[in-house]
């Protein structure tokens, strides 16, 4: 087994606000291996976005506070890294795509400047002029012929066109080169007329286009980890499908490791290799997507899957989970799910709650569930 790109161990994040302390992420542990896509799925407010922001330390502290845990990215403990060194990991190490493409691009700059900035940072780092984490480990080495599709788009230098789009004076060879690279990345995300896009401002683009530009920016640092925080949730359904298809295609072209956050079980099934299910800040089940979806071993996952609309089950009302998500400032003792669980026994209400362990009689050793009665889960009607 290869060294994981990202190792999260016992990560706990609180929000300290006037109303109390909210335990948004509680003792979450997982590993992300090179070239894999780990999907994190859960309801709104289950802490998945906090988890995504905590890894590159984007949380605003305060109110957020990382209580404990280890986030090890390519051997670096990010939580121990001094704040001023964090930028060196970002961009070329970890990059991120956000939920709202409306807000994630700077309204004051042209698309060209925003993409070029990311590329310029990577180049400075690659040439050793600026400190930073570059040259990804093995399966991410873009110079290797392993990713043939990337080469076509990324390696072919483009001659800058002389249309109205080249109003920006191109003085030096470097500037032309940079422009060519920007165009390559815009083409990589399937933007049809990158030359026109270059000189536009974000507000002149549609949501889908902006998200494509955002993906181009995130990829142009050639990161070894891409965090996608609900990248399609804010888009309408047809655009969502387009962006998902694009990301799916890019995944086979650029084998970067991805942490894919979504509330949509279908999207995760489509995109991810592995899936982690979050409930009330806890990671309750973790395993390969097909195993978890076919044979869920946590009662919450089971309920979640049952309540997803399916084209095969149309008779009767859609099943739903009884009860509601607990308040994150007053979590129940023991297993956070026990008040809504049909399998709950007395020991489920005792602290500490169940840890994420190998699910009993699961198909593979990597299928983990945080439930004492994971063996009985398949029996829930």
Partner 1 sequence: MVIFVGKRLLQLVPVLFGVVTITFFFTHVAVPNPCAAWTKARTPGAVQACVVTFGFDKPLSVQYTTYLQNLISGNWGTNSVQQPVLPSILRAFPETLELVFASLLLMVVLGIPLGVVAANGAGRWPDHLVRTFYLSGWATPTYLGGLILAIVVGPALGLPYTGDFSSAKPPGWEIVHMSVIDAMLRLDPGALADAILHLILPATALAFLNMGIATRMTRGSMLEILPMDFVKTARMKGLTNFWVLYRHALRNSLISTTTVLGIAAGGLLSGTVVIENIFRWPGIGTYAFNAIIGYEFAETIGIVIVFAVGVVLANLVADVLYGLLDPRVEWR
Footprint of partner 1 on residues 209-268 (CB under 8 A)?
214, 217-218, 221
Q: Which tokens is 318 given?
A: 């859609």
When the beta carbons of 17 and 318 are compared against partner 1, the nearer one is 17
Which DSSP category does 114 fall into?
H
When the beta carbons of 92 and 262 are compared against partner 1, the nearer one is 92
> Shortest approach of partner 1 to residue 256 CB, angstroms?
14
Contact range with partner 1 by CB under 8 A, out of 28-36, 71-79, 103-111, 168-176: 103-111
Give me the residues paired with residue 368 across strands. 286, 358
Residue 178 binds to partner 1 (criterion: CB under 8 A): no
Query: E strands along the chain, which residues?
Result: 6-17, 20-32, 37-42, 64-73, 76-77, 94-97, 225-229, 257-262, 274-279, 282-288, 357-358, 368-369
> Shortest approach of partner 1 to residue 261 CB, angstroms?
14
Footprint of partner 1 on residues 133-162 (CB under 8 A)?
none
Choice from 107, 148, 164, 317 touching partner 1 (CB under 8 A): 107
> Shortest approach of partner 1 to residue 379 CB, angstroms?
44
> Shortest approach of partner 1 to residue 176 CB, angstroms?
22
Residue 203 binds to partner 1 (criterion: CB under 8 A): yes
Q: Which residues, including other chains, have CB under 8 Å from residue 182's CB and lie 6 or more apart?
A: 112, 115, 116, 119, 194, 198, 220
> Shortest approach of partner 1 to residue 32 CB, angstroms?
17
Footprint of partner 1 on residues 314-373 (CB under 8 A)?
none
When the beta carbons of 64 and 275 are compared against partner 1, the nearer one is 64
Residue 132 binds to partner 1 (criterion: CB under 8 A): yes
Q: Is 77 left (phi over 0), alpha (psi -120 to 50) or beta?
A: beta
Residue 105 binds to partner 1 (criterion: CB under 8 A): yes
The answer to whether 337 and 299 have CB atoms below 8 angstroms apart is yes
Footprint of partner 1 on residues 27-86 (CB under 8 A)?
53, 56, 58, 60, 83-84
> Shortest approach of partner 1 to residue 235 CB, angstroms?
15
- CA-nearest of 40, 113, 74 to 264 is 40
When the beta carbons of 61 and 376 are compared against partner 1, the nearer one is 61
The torsion of the CA quartet 228, 52, 100, 242, rounded to 10 degrees, works out to 20
Pairing outcome for strands 368-369 and 357-358: antiparallel
CA distance 223 to 140: 9
Pairing outcome for strands 257-262 and 225-229: parallel
Residue 90 binds to partner 1 (criterion: CB under 8 A): yes
The torsion of the CA quartet 80, 85, 90, 92, rounded to 10 degrees, works out to -120
The Cβ of residue 252 has, within 10 Å, a number of other Cβ atoms equal to 10
CA distance 367 to 381: 21
Residue 100 binds to partner 1 (criterion: CB under 8 A): yes
Choice from 23, 74, 125, 222 touching partner 1 (CB under 8 A): 125
When the beta carbons of 125 and 302 are compared against partner 1, the nearer one is 125
Residue 106 binds to partner 1 (criterion: CB under 8 A): yes
> Shortest approach of partner 1 to residue 317 CB, angstroms?
37
Binding site for partner 1 (CB under 8 A): 53, 56, 58, 60, 83-84, 87-96, 98-100, 103-110, 114, 117-118, 121-122, 125, 132, 201, 203, 214, 217-218, 221
């Amino acid at each position: 087994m290869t060294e994981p790109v990202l190792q999260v161990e016992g990560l706990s994040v609180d929000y300290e606000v006037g109303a109390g302390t909210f335990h948004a992420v509680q003792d979450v542990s997982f590993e992300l291996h090179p070239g894999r896509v780990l999907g994190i799925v859960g309801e709104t407010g289950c802490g998945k976005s906090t988890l995504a922001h905590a890894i590159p330390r984007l949380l605003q502290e305060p109110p957020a506070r990382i209580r404990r845990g280890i986030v090890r990215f390519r051997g670096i403990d990010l939580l121990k890294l001094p704040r001023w060194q964090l930028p060196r990991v970002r961009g070329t190490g970890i990059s991120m795509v956000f939920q709202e493409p409306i807000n994630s691009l700077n309204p004051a700059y042209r698309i060209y400047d925003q993409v070029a900035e990311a590329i310029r940072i990577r180049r400075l780092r690659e040439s050793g002029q600026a400190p930073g984490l570059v040259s990804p480990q093995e399966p991410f080495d873009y110079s290797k012929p392993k990713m043939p599709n990337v080469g076509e788009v990324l390696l072919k230098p483009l001659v800058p066109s002389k249309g109205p789009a080249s109003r920006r004076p191109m003085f030096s060879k470097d500037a032309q080169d940079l422009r060519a690279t920007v165009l390559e990345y815009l083409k990589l995300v399937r933007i049809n007329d990158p030359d026109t896009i270059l000189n536009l401002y974000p507000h002149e683009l549609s949501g889908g286009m902006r998200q494509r530009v955002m993906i181009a920016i995130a990829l142009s640092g050639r990161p070894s980890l891409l965090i996608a925080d609900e990248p399609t949730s804010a888009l309408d359904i047809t655009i969502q499908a387009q962006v998902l298809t694009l990301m799916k295609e890019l995944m086979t072209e650029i084998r970067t490791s991805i942490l894919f956050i979504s509330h949509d079980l279908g999207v995760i099934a489509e995109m991810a290799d592995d899936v982690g299910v979050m409930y009330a800040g806890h990671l309750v089940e973790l395993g390969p997507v097909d195993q978890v979806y076919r044979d869920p071993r946590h009662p919450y996952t089971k309920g979640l899957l049952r309540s997803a609309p399916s084209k095969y089950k149309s008779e009767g009302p859609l099943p739903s989970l009884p009860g509601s998500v607990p308040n994150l400032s007053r979590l129940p003792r023991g297993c956070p799910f026990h008040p809504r669980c049909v399998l709950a026994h007395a020991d489920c209400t005792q602290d500490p709650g169940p840890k994420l362990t190998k699910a009993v009689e699961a198909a593979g050793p990597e299928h983990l569930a945080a439930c004492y009665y994971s063996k009985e889960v398949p029996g829930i009607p």
